[in-house]
Amino acid sequence: MSQRKVKVKVFRFDPLVEREPRYVTYEVPIVEGMSVLDVLDYIYENIDSSIAYYAHAACRHGICGGCKVVVNGKLCLACQTPVSGDMTIEPPSSFKVIRDIVSMMSEDAGGRV
């Protein structure tokens, strides 16, 4: 299994303290059979633990929909999207951003963010 690296550009934004979003680029070593969620896990575990992505209750089976993100402009589930090369990861634009690429997926916390 060849160890190659990809550049992952991630949308970062804390609407409470920042005026506008920024992008941070991480270099992530890739093994065969990694999903976008695995890449985000890698960043969280090894490079930058401050990154927010919906993972605390991810089902990893493509059903809960919690890990919905936009990768290279396309809406997808992070857990079911294979990594092919360099990428940009952003929150789904139609939802209100909570922090970084986590956005409001349901109105069920009393509609409050």
Q: Would you say 13 and 21 are in contact if contact means Cβ atoms under 8 Å apart?
A: yes
Structure tokens at 112: 């409050």
CA distance 44 to 53: 9
**Which span sits near other proteins by CB under 8 A: 3-11, 20-28, 46-54, 86-94?**
46-54
**Which span sits near other proteins by CB under 8 A: 3-11, 20-28, 72-80, 86-94?**
72-80
Residue 75 interacting with other proteins (CB under 8 A): no
CA distances, 43 to each of 6, 31, 40, 96, 109 (Å): 12, 14, 5, 23, 28
CA distance 17 to 40: 23
Residue 49 interacting with other proteins (CB under 8 A): yes
Residue 24 interacting with other proteins (CB under 8 A): no
Size of the site for other proteins (CB under 8 A): 47
Name the site residues for other proteins (rule: CB under 8 A): 14, 16-17, 31-35, 37-38, 44-45, 48-66, 77, 79-80, 82, 98-100, 102, 104-106, 108-110, 112-113
